[in-house]
Amino acid sequence: MKALVLYDSLGGNTEKVAKRISSTLADGGVESELVKVSEDTDMDLYDYDLLFLGSPVIAWGPTNTMRDFVMKKLKEYHKERIPPSAPLRPGKFAVSFCTFSGTHIGENEAIPLTKWFSSFLEHIGCQVMAEWNIVGEFHKPGEHNTNGRLGDISGRPNERDLLDVENRVKGIVVGLAAWMT
């Protein structure tokens, strides 16, 4: 099994999560690549069996760089590899994740993004195993980190959040035992 952790991060929160996913995969004996998306990023997603796709929530959506990457890939695959009904491809799995501050309306600020990722992943035939919305502090100090809908989110994701991510990744790896060759 080969995994890809593809993410964007403007201030480091999502990167912390991506790195913890990657190190946990390595500890579990899963071969994986960790890639921060850029304008030049261009791999074939079908080369991987387990995809982790993540971004910070920026105005309820992904970063521009991540959006451009996903739309580029959708366009590339659409003609040849995404037939109507988007059949599941056996042995292809995925997880959508994001970090978000939820200042105004809580987790509802994150759900559209992980659903958007999942929609793309399902289009390319992956079975989406999970959607993880992880709290991340707002980088401009001020009341966004203390008076928002989620309360005090200073310092998030903290070690406890990252341990939670680690345990979830372990669960995914154990769940995919049948494909772990």
Ligand X SMILES: Cc1cc2nc3c(=O)[nH]c(=O)nc-3n(C[C@H](O)[C@H](O)[C@H](O)COP(=O)(O)O)c2cc1C
Q: Can you give the binding site for ligand X, defined by CB under 6 A?
A: 9-15, 56-60, 99-102, 109-110, 136-139
Looking at the Cβ atoms of 58 and 74, the one nearer to ligand X is: 58
> What is the Cα–Cα distance from 39 to 67, expressed in whole angstroms?
11
- CB of 113 vs ligand X, minimal distance in Å: 9
Cβ closer to ligand X: 15 or 131?
Answer: 15
Q: Which is nearer to ligand X, 28 or 112 (CB)?
A: 112
Nearest distance, CB of residue 10 and ligand X, angstroms: 3
Which residue is closest to ligand X by CB? 136
Q: What is the distance between the alpha carbons of residues 35 and 98, in angstroms, rounded to a whole number?
A: 15
* Closest CB 140 distance from ligand X, rounded Å: 7
Instruction: Kindly tell me which of 11 and 171 has the beta carbon lying closer to ligand X.
Output: 11
